[in-house]
């Protein structure tokens, strides 16, 4: 009998990805994430970072991180339920709840951990989860971990959600509870969920609402407080507001905000929270400092939106299709995957770093260059980027 190779599939499946041009080829950022940075040894203009407000290199965040190492050490030493619950963690959650204007907040190790750990606990066998068809992969994985029934509503379509919920009411036996989940800002297209309509429809049918606001924090709402604040909704309308520190806040970590009951339930039931080491002091202190910056330096959010409108207008005037973007995520539609890859490669040659988004992350004919605006970009930077897009667009016959 031939001896079985237990790991042969690793190389074979990876090679399939390479042959199909679906593999990720990682570039290396050499230094801080700033508008002008060095990637793979080349000086480039950063156009694809989630660091919306350029806080990852803000002096207040760096100073807070350094001081926390001096006072609290390099690590927490444990998971939070045992011996790793530091005063820094407690203070961060207090400041976050105040910023979010919520009764309570809970910090997870990552945004993915929040979705994977909490969604399956909120809905189980005998329940129903209703999800927007374009929700993020971390939401999808969280739903897959649940034993609840699943339904999907058309993207950003509150009327279709209404129909799905009406049908759910006919289910026998009746569902114990229904959880409606949506992204706040959709990361591939930059459009905003109609959360006001979703919340109203869900309330009419007695469903709980869970919004993943990873790309809305620091962007939407007064002072960057997020999509719930943007729509002026109450905690009785959106019960779970999930977010992340890894984007506009410039650090790393996930979190949820809502009622005190939600917080108590979440940290007692989420295995991702219970069984993962807590954030090291430097990370926690930097996250708290980021909240303080948003509260005291409103110019960052203003600059982000000024840059967003300027760049999107410039692209459209040249004839580029920016899809349904309503936020600093501005996709530049290319159509074919190979076109998007060629465009991205030429951008890099011209000193612009913006990656192609291709199948299977988007439909085969919906490939795009996904640009993301940054508050620290100057008008000179944006004009240089627009010039590069215009030059390559003409070369490839896109505009």
Helix (H/G/I), strand (E/B), else coil: 330: strand
Output Rg (C-alpha) for the chain, integer angstroms: 22
Q: Which residues contact 331 (CB under 8 A, 6 or more apart)?
A: 188, 189, 190, 322, 323, 325, 357, 368, 369, 370, 371
CB 385 within 8 A of CB 45: yes
The Cα 306–Cα 91 span in angstroms is 33
Please identify which of the residues 89, 215, 229, 255 carries the catalytic annotation: 215
DSSP string, 275-304: TSBPPPHHHHHHHHHHHHHHHH-THHHHHH
CB 92 within 8 A of CB 65: no
Q: Which residues contact 110 (CB under 8 A, 6 or more apart)?
A: 244, 246, 252, 253, 254
Cα 236 to chain center, whole Å? 24
Beta strands in the chain (DSSP E): 36-39, 42-46, 104-108, 128-132, 149-153, 178-183, 208-212, 240-244, 254-258, 329-335, 352-353, 356-357, 367-372
Instruction: For residue 8, count CB atoms less than 10 angstroms from its CB and return exposed for 0-12, middle for 13-18, buried for 19 or more.
Output: exposed
Is 147 among the catalytic positions? no
Is 338 among the catalytic positions? no
Please identify which of the residues 131, 138, 146, 187 carries the catalytic annotation: 187
The DSSP call for residue 29 is: B
Integer CA distances (angstroms), 207 to 58, 115, 132, 196, 210, in order: 41, 18, 14, 14, 10
Please identify which of the residues 136, 230, 247, 279 carries the catalytic annotation: 247
Residue 224 burial (CB count, 10 A)? 25
Is 247 among the catalytic positions? yes
Three-state SS for 143-204 is: HHCCCCEEEEECCCCHHHHHHHHHHHCCCCCCCCCEEEEEECECCCCCCECCHHHHHHHHHH
The Cα 39–Cα 25 span in angstroms is 13
Q: What positions carry a catalytic annotation?
A: 187, 215, 247
């Amino acid at each position: 009998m031939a001896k079985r190779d237990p790991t042969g599939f690793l190389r074979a499946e990876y090679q399939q990805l390479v042959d199909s041009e679906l593999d990720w080829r990682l570039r290396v950022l050499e230094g801080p994430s700033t508008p002008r940075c060095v990637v793979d040894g080349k000086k480039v203009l950063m156009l694809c970072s989630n660091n919306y407000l350029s806080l990852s290199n803000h002096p207040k965040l760096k100073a807070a991180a350094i001081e926390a190492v001096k006072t609290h050490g390099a690590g927490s030493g444990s998971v939070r339920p045992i011996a790793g619950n530091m005063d820094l963690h407690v203070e961060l959650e207090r400041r976050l709840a105040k910023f979010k204007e919520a009764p309570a907040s809970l910090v997870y190790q990552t945004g993915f951990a929040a979705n994977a750990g909490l969604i399956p606990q909120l809905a189980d066998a005998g329940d129903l989860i209703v999800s927007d068809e374009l929700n993020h992969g971390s939401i999808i994985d969280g739903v897959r971990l649940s034993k609840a029934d699943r339904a999907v509503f058309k993207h950003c379509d509150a009327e279709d959600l209404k129909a799905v919920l009406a049908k759910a009411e006919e289910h026998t036996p009746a569902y114990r509870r229904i959880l409606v989940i949506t992204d706040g800002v959709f990361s591939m297209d930059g459009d905003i969920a109609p959360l006001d309509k979703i919340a109203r429809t869900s309330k009419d049918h007695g469903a709980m609402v869970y919004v993943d606001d990873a790309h809305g924090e620091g962007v939407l709402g007064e002072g960057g407080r997020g999509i719930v604040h943007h729509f002026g909704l109450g905690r009785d309308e959106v019960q779970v507001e999930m977010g992340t520190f890894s984007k506009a806040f410039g650090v790393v970590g996930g979190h949820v905000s809502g009622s005190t009951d939600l917080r108590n339930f979440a940290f007692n039931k989420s295995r991702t929270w219970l069984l993962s080491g807590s954030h090291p002091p430097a990370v926690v202190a930097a996250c708290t400092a980021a909240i303080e910056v948003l509260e005291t330096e409103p110019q960052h959010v203003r600059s982000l939106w000024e840059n967003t409108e300027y760049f999107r207008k410039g692209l459209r005037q040249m004839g580029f299709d920016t899809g349904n973007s309503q936020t600093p995520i501005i996709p530049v539609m290319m159509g074919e995957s190979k076109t998007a890859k060629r465009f991205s490669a030429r951008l890099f040659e011209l000193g612009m770093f913006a990656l192609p988004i291709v199948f299977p992350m988007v439909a085969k004919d919906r490939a795009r260059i996904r640009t993301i605006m940054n508050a620290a970009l100057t008008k000179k930077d944006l004009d240089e980027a627009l010039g590069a897009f215009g030059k390559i667009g003409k070369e490839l016959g896109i505009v």
